Amino acid sequence: MNYEKDTLNRETLFNSRKMFGMMGNIQWQVTEVSGDKFNVQASSSRTDIDRSSIGINIIKSIHGKLPDVKVDLHWIEWKSEHGKGVLISNNGKTNAEITKELLHKLNN
């Protein structure tokens, strides 16, 4: 099968990538596709995570959508331009309250 990395990142694997970012502040993306082999790059600003376990979970998540591909995952040093994920509840809050909470979490 012919895979295209931008389509994989934006569409096929988007929900998984979003959930890792929102729930664990872990960013990852497919950086290169060669046939049925994917090179995946992961990073996180968190220092309290087990990269081996998280890496296995990322690979399992990819295999959930594309079971026949091979995945080579590499951790890189996190940089601020990689982004930062946070979870907040918007239930019963005004837009100003949501914005304040979001900015507080992103800046801490």
Say what the pLDDT of residue 78 is: 75
Query: What CATH architecture applies to the domain 5-107?
Result: 2-Layer Sandwich (3.30)
Tens of pLDDT, residues 20-58: 887 888 999 999 999 999 999 999 888 888 999 999 999
Contact 25, 46 (CB under 8 A): yes
6-20, 35-49, 63-77, 93-107: range with lowest mean pLDDT: 93-107
**Residue 26 amino acid letter:** I
